[in-house]
Amino acid sequence: MTITLITCTYNAESVLQKTLNSIIKQDYNDIEHIIIDGKSKDNTLKIAEQYKATSNIQRTGHKITIISEPDKGLYDAMNKGIRYATGDYLCFLNAGDVLHNTNTIRDIVSAARKNAKEYGVIYGETDIVDDNGKFIGHRHLRAPQNLTWRSFSHGMLVCHQAFYANTRIAKQTPYNLKYRISADVDWCIRIMKQAEKEGLTNLNTEKVVCNYLAGGMSIKNHRASLIERYKTMCEHYGIATTIIMHIWFVIRAGMRKLGIK
């Protein structure tokens, strides 16, 4: 089984190396790593090329592809990564995010092989870390035991970086470029909808599979993201359900501030 990891970059020299280190240290060899760079003006491409050379010297068995050319934004770059993907499942690992430990990919593959069947999505939990990789806490939204597209009406319960999509389905389901900030929510829902249509279930690895870099989104972008997410949820779940769930989101946020679980 081959796992494809896709990293989209643009002027990411300050955070890219930690992501590359976490991949090259994996103890599983059948990894395809696709780096889609938006024609960075800093040393991002140089770092990526050095990483590829180091991988070849160490003979990790990883297949590394680097594409550097202008794009129409992050989700256009992600669609490009999907088109290049040849693995069985794919995941987007942002520059600055890292795999949880050295045997993360092996754990994912081992979980998938237990029942020897095709899944729509393989997923896990996420830890939040700071710029130095220090553990801050577990992501407050937890992955459900049985994830379906309906689960995301309660929020994005599985982090994008912990969401390993069936590559065959992903190629049929590109990101919708009408969304500028929150296309990942829409994409995950549509992936799971297609999986359900095909009678495929989703697999919970019951493991932390990604360390997510805290911060990085401005308040302005956060608000725009919430507006887009609201529109996405209305499209998939209807206006009434979306309004009810957003009232619950406000209540839930207040409970968290008060330390109520």
Which of 102, 107, 90 is CA-nearest to residue 206? 107
- For residue 217, what pLDDT is reported? 47
pLDDT-based confidence at residue 218 (cuts at 50, 70, 90): very low
Residue 215 has pLDDT above 70, yes or no: no
Ordered alpha helix ranges (H), the chain: 16-24, 44-58, 74-84, 104-113, 167-172, 183-197, 219-237, 239-257
pLDDT of residue 249: 62
27 pLDDT band, cuts 50/70/90, is: very high
pLDDT digits (tens, 9 = 90+) for 120-154: 999 999 999 887 778 888 887 889 999 999 999 98
SS3 216: coil
Indicate the average pLDDT of the chain: 89
Above 70 in pLDDT, residue 260?
A: no
Which two tokens mark 40?
A: 């960075």
Cβ atoms within 10 Å, residue 89:
27
Instruction: Read off the pLDDT band of 230 (50, 70, 90).
Output: confident
255 vs 112, residue with greater confidence: 112
